[in-house]
Amino acid sequence: MAVVLGVDIGTTSVKTVLVNYESGAIIASQSEETKAYTKSGALHTAAAEQAVSFIFRAIDRAIKRLPRDTVSHVKAIGVCGQMHGCMLWKRNCIDLLLEKLTTFDRMVDCLTDDNVSHLITWEDGRCNTEFLRSLPPSQSGRRIAKGYGCSTLFWMQKHQSDVTKKYDCSATIQDFLVSILCKLTVPIMSYHNAHSWGYFSQAECTWEEDILRDCEFPVHLLPAVVPPGSVAGMTVNRWYGISPGVPVLAALGDMQCSVQAAMETVTDAVLNIGTSAQLSYQLALPIPTRCVETVEYQPFMMNRSLVVAASLNGGNVLMKFVSLLQNWVSELGLECPTVDTIYSRLLEGGEMLSTLKISPLLYGERHCPSVLGSVANISPHSPSLGETFTALCDGLIANIAGMLSNETLRNAGILRVIGTGSALVKNPILQAAVKRHFDFPLVIRSSSDAAIGAAQYAIETLRSSKHSKK
């Protein structure tokens, strides 16, 4: 039985899936928290960094729990992950890692600062508004935001130039994984991730190198860029029982792969809420020259595009609220319940509407980075914990609805909203808020995560290649 392996490297967890090549059926899937956030090496309070070794340990655990006899029949690998993040590494470390690569737990000891940097995630806030204003405008007219790979490299070139001089490659964490599997001396990046780094011309499919060079940007660190669906290379070692010579696709964006797994027709909009949140639909017309400030136009599959309202506030806000409750309990000198216990109690409380209004923009938004969260309509009758949590969930959805309205969706021919992502799938209170704010049926898809989309696209690519050879 031929199968395809999909791997998604998310912000807080990694997911792996095996998909039947012929039928498209999901055979097995696994998820593993990375617990990779680190403060060591992050010299700025707004930094958001993750230890690459922790991420690869999580990938190792997730793959090892897949059925071993089925993994040996993998005929292609599709990879995706958090798009905006940036990491750096030394070119010659790939050979060192491959000497140990049969499983990732054997090579993590080599993922030291001498060979790789931390992953600087999309949540990184070192590029504040003042710094972003100092950067050159993109030729494409696209907004350049904090957490974008190119913004991060600009900041490091100015404030930590020893880091940009130490390494000679940079890309996303998922591109690094592909580089290891295929022994790439120059990393390869798909249009998905390049677009999300900024200073990438979607029309020309190239980096805006002239602008970058003029501003002393470390252009030599940029990866080669290829269309989505391109084969980056072949596995060079036997890996978890997977044979050498298996094609590995250039890594895709996790948002696009989530949409790929969930969307059935062009009349579907997809609302994905994980660590962050995105509401998107497929664009049937050419990209307009004048863009709405609250949405982006991102490359999708097969030369198509997506209209995306990408919020920085999603499941991360709910987890911050849980953490806040933990801190309060600890400050009272009481025994602190676990995260899972608190979250379960919040969900058990059910939907409790009140007049309380919460705008939970803890992380701002790319179109309004200086606007943060607020609470309104607090009365003498203090809101209960359930009312507060309901207002928090409602505020998250109200924010997304404000970025991409019902009217815009109707005009685009949308007939329903497909809900995906762990934060939405597991939270009926959040689902109820979606139904309040959007005038479309909500269909929840619990098995439509990005790893599945990456595997599905690998299957489509292989079939298309096979057909073209005929």
What residue segments make up the domains of the chain, in order of their start? 3-250, 263-447
Q: Could you tell me the CA-to-CA distances from 37 to 13, 14, 29, 120 in Å, in that order?
A: 11, 14, 24, 10
Q: Which residues pair with 77 in a beta bridge?
A: 5, 248
CATH code reported for the domain at 3-250:
3.30.420.40
Alpha helices, DSSP H only, in 183-264?
A: 191-197, 209-214, 254-262
Query: Under a CB-based contact definition with an 8 Å cutoff, are residues 80 and 113 in contact?
Result: no
Residue 275 tokens, joined: 């660590």
- The terminus-to-terminus CA distance of the chain in angstroms comes to 23
Residue 452 near residue 73 (C-beta atoms within 8 A): no
Q: List the pLDDT tens digit at each of the 470 positions of the chain.
A: 899 999 999 999 999 999 999 999 999 999 999 999 987 545 567 899 999 999 999 999 999 999 999 999 999 999 999 999 999 999 988 888 887 666 777 788 888 899 999 999 999 999 999 999 999 999 888 889 999 999 999 999 999 999 999 999 999 999 999 999 999 999 999 999 999 999 999 888 899 999 999 999 999 999 999 999 999 999 998 889 999 999 999 999 999 999 999 999 999 999 999 999 999 999 866 666 556 789 988 888 877 889 999 999 999 999 999 999 999 999 999 999 999 999 999 999 888 888 999 999 999 998 888 889 999 999 888 789 999 999 999 999 999 999 999 999 999 999 999 999 989 999 999 999 999 999 999 999 987 789 999 999 999 988 877 644 54
Select from 3.30.930.10, 1.10.357.10, 3.40.605.10, 3.30.420.40 the CATH code of 263-447.
3.30.420.40
Percent of the chain scoring above 90 in pLDDT = 76
Three-class SS state of 421: coil
Measured CA to CA, the distance from residue 110 to residue 116 in angstroms comes to 9
In this chain, the answer to whether the domains covering 3-250 and 263-447 adopt an identical fold is yes
List helix spans (H) across 332-449. Answer: 339-348, 385-403, 406-411, 422-425, 428-437
* pLDDT for the residue numbered 468: 46
- How many CB atoms are closer than 10 A to CB 383? 19
pLDDT score, position 60: 93
Cα distances from 445 to residues 20, 151, 260, 263, 274, in angstroms, run 19, 34, 12, 10, 13
CB atoms within 10 A of CB 302: 10
Return d(Cα 428, Cα 446) in angstroms, integer.
13
Percentage helix, strand, coil for the chain under 3-state DSSP, each rounded to 5:
35, 25, 40
